Structure 1
Amino acid sequence: MLSRILLLMMQPWFRLSRGMTLGIRAAVIDGEDRVFLVRHGYAPGWLFPGGGVERGETVYDTVRRELAEEGGIILGEKPVLHGLFSNEDKFRGDHIACFVIRNFSRQDWAPSLEIREARFFPMTDLPDGTTGGTRRRVQEIMEGKAPPADW
């Protein structure tokens, strides 16, 4: 927990000192076409769970770790890559790999300082405050559209 808090505090430094960052977001979709979204304690809005790829991790390791931490989601199979995006408008040098997960289970999970809420929403009725990037990715996934280059 303490290491997670330190990471959140150091995130601005990482973004300024590294030439490029890589993060993941995961669109977890259940059998009722509902998507799993989280609400952070340190930023507004609803968005896909995810986070930064740490040294020594693959993007698949990061998906597995972040889903377990942020919502008690346990992968049932390898995630499917939806797209690799530039997030240059928000953070210089940032890139996001977005995955789709449809085969999973869920274990007990409780809110934390980082993740205040986590739940499923109908893909056609996302909650107020859902971030723009999240809304665009949900629409692409629902319509089977190829994603653009920018988040």
Structure 2
Amino acid sequence: MTLARPLLRLAMTTAQRLRSACWFVRRPRTFGVHAIVLTPAGRIVLVRHTYVPGWRMPSGGRRESEPPAAAILRELREEIGLSDSRPPEAIGDFEHILNHRRDHVDVYLVRDAIYRPRRSLEIEETADFALDALPDDLGGSSRRQIDAYLRAASIRPASASAAASTE
């Protein structure tokens, strides 16, 4: 491992902590978007950020006036290099309070995503996984959201679908 990766992680973690300190003082309401991104093969696309451990759903912020569907497409182009997909489907929203921030987050399902990972300061790694083989270090809230939204959208892992069709 080169020295650059640990230094980048330290710099990005420090920047995130400074932002959290500002949020503590200002207590703003922010708006965000998260996406469950599925490839044509039914695999889920996840990202690993440089400033927090573990795999996560692609996500990001949006201006209050920005339509959530436009924001998630922008974030997916930035984070995973999305080049094509079906239109995003709104599948839920939630209020999130963390580090004295109040977030309203809209969640989208993006199917048939074609992407090409890009290098960035924010995203350390992008990969797709079978729905029944999610990484062990998938963030707890991401795992809960993925499970809940996939159940609500009646999406099952390929192995579960195959087992159901043979019964």
TM over 0.5, yes or no?
yes
Deviation per CA, 1:102-145, whole angstroms, max 9, x where unpaired? 03322x43222210000101111111211112111221233237
**1:109 aligns to what?**
117
Measured after TM superposition, the shift of residue 11 of structure 1 is 3.6
- 1:67 aligns with 76
5 Å-filtered alignment, 1:1-150, equals 11-12=19-20, 13-14=22-23, 16-54=25-63, 56-89=65-98, 91-106=100-115, 108-144=116-152
| CA distance 1:65–1:20, change in 2 (3 Å) | same
Give the structure 2 partner of residue 149 of structure 1: none
Higher helix share: 2
Output the amino acid matched with 1:131: G
Q: Distance in 1 between matches of 2:122 and 2:88?
A: 24
Paired residue total: 140
Distance, in Å, in 1 between the alignment partners of 2:122 and 2:69 is 21
1:22–1:95 Cα contact (<8 Å) kept: yes
Shift of 1:43: 0.9
% same residue: 31
Report the AA paired with residue 93 of structure 1: R
In structure 1, how many angstroms separate the alpha carbons of the residues matched to 2:99 and 2:140? Answer: 12
Structure 1 position 56, deviation (Å): 4.4
For 1:16 and 1:65, the matched residues in 2 are separated by 29
Gaps of 5+ in 1: 147-151
Unaligned runs of 5+ in 2: 1-11, 155-167
Contact conserved, 1:28 with 1:102, CA < 8 A, in 2?
yes
Aligned partners of 1:41 and 1:55: how far apart in 2? 26
Tell me by how many angstroms 1:81 deviates.
1.1
Cα deviation 1:2-37 (Å, max 9, x = unaligned):
xxx8x9577432564254111111110123321100
Change (3 A) 1:95 1:133: same
Aligned residues: CA RMSD? 2.6
